[in-house]
Structure formats: structure tokens, C-alpha cells
Amino acid sequence: MLGRIGNSLGCLMLNALRGAAVPVRCAQCGHQFKPFEGHRFTRFGEIMERFPCPRCGHQFGIGEDAKSKRDQSAFNPPGPFSKPPASKIERSEPSAETVLFFLPPTGRAGILLVMGIFWSACMLPLFFVAFFRGHFLDHVPTLGPKIFIGVFTAVGLGLLYGALRQKYSTLLVYLSPDLVRVQRKLLLRSAQDLRPEEVKSVRLVEFYTENSTAVHGIEIGAGLRLIRFGSSLPDDEKRWLAWEIRDYLRRHGATELPEEGA
């Protein structure tokens, strides 16, 4: 129930803000356009999926436009990489053909925590007044103001949850000939699964910008389905772990994986 409410509020926000999207340039034909223009979101997760270029039909996602591809090539040099000496990631082999990586909490929340605290400090008092002491809205004939306040309050709480998950959650990366699974745990478990033969890319991509510096994370891509994690890891750990995953999948069915830097 809460998940459906959160999805509805998220979609309402995305549909309201899609006109403010920053234009991107297609890496295939160079055409510049606004992603998702004219599209009506029905799932909040659609924002992380790929979209077609209206000119040539090439599909790519946020952070995969022409400029980002140049930046990503520089950030994905050829391997192999050795495990950093200070790394706390635990690598094990439960059986002859399976590999398991355990990522402990990093203790870092990044800019999400600051944004979440600031946003919630602004919106929660308005939410309380609007929904529990809402006399100043009694004369308003529509639910518009309450919906607006509710959506932006949910955004603040979402930022706080994202920061806490990034700081305190543990993460398991499980690789087998039949399954790629990334499982997160913070109070509750959540998992994303792919089949090795479906995987088209394993690389570092830009997740967000902090203090004018791009913050990268690991992305496992299978068409429109993406698994993203690891933005709070040190860069040398990201490169090593991405190479380990890529190397394993190449040997177990992911025949369409390009070389590093491609």
C-alpha cells in the first residue's frame, strides 16, 4: 500500500517536472532533445530506464549521452585491477562456479544526507500544518496545495532514506552461471536479478555531482534493465569490483560485453 502511494507521488512529481529536463545529445546521431518529453510516467523507476532518440531510435539512459560516453571512456580504463589493500569488501567462492562479494556499510552518505535534512526541515512543518492544522487551507476549493506539499515532503523523506541506505546498508553481489543478483539490506532485504547472458555492460557511470565533482558508481546493464550501486565506494574499489564482475560474466555467458573503455 505504501509502495503504491509512494510510486503515485513520485510519478506525479516526475510528470510535473519533465518539462524542466536538461537536453541530452544522442551518442548515435548527435541529435539534441529533452529525455522523456511528452512521456507520461506510470512507474517512478522509469526515470532510471533508457529512452529512444526521436530521430534515429537509439536507446540510451541518463548519463549515457554523447558527452557522458566520452567521460565514461576515460573513467573505465582497461583492466585487470588488483583488490586495493585497504578494501573491506569480502570476496568468497561458495562453490566452484559461484562468486560472492560482501560490501559492508561504508559509513558515508554524501550530499544526499545534507539535501534530505534541508528539504525535510523545510517541508515537514508545512506538511504538519497542511494535514493536521489545515485551517489556513479550508478556503481552498481544490486538493492541489495539499498534493503539492505531500509530493515534496515525500521527496525529502526519499532523500533521507537514500542517504541512510547508502550509509548503513550492506550489499551482496552474487554471481553464478545462471544468475546475477545484487541484494541490499537495511532493515528489509531488496534484490535485483539478471541472467548473465542478458548483460550488455558493466561499467562505472556518473550517478550525481557533489561539490562540482562527478560521483561514479557501478552499473550492470541489460537493455532497459539496470542495476546500480557502489557510489560511496572509493574509486579504486569501484574499478576493481566492476572489472571482477565483468571478467566473471564474460566467462559465463555475457558474450555481448564490450571491452573496457568502449
CB 25, CB 65: distance < 8 Å: yes
- In angstroms, the CA 176 to CA 185 distance is 20
Residues 234 and 122 in one domain: no
pLDDT of residue 122: 83
pLDDT of residue 262: 47
Would 125 be classed as within a structural domain? yes
Q: Which of 166, 183, 206 is the last residue before a domain boundary?
A: 166
Would 233 be classed as within a structural domain? yes
Q: Is the pLDDT of residue 68 over 60?
A: no
pTM, two decimals, is 0.61
Residues 185 and 101 in one domain: yes
Q: Which three cell numbers stand for residue 214?
A: 562527478
- In angstroms, the CA 11 to CA 55 distance is 26
* Domain residue limits at 24: 2-62
- In angstroms, the CA 216 to CA 86 distance is 19
CB 53, CB 33: distance < 8 Å: yes
Residue 205, helix vs strand vs coil: strand
Mean pLDDT of the chain: 79
Residues 174 and 94 in one domain: yes
Percentage of the chain exceeding pLDDT 90: 25
Residue 201, helix vs strand vs coil: strand
The DSSP symbol for 260 reads T
Residue ranges in 19-140 assigned as alpha helix (H):
66-75, 111-132
100-104, 188-192, 196-200: the lowest-pLDDT one: 188-192
Would 256 be classed as within a structural domain? no
Q: Is the pLDDT of residue 26 over 50?
A: yes
Closest CA to 220 of 237, 199, 234: 199
Range picked from 91-95, 137-141, 157-161 for highest mean pLDDT? 91-95
The CA radius of gyration of the chain, in Å to the nearest whole number, is 20
Give whole-number Cα distances, 232 to 86, 118, 243, 262, in Å.
15, 21, 17, 24
pLDDT of residue 38: 78
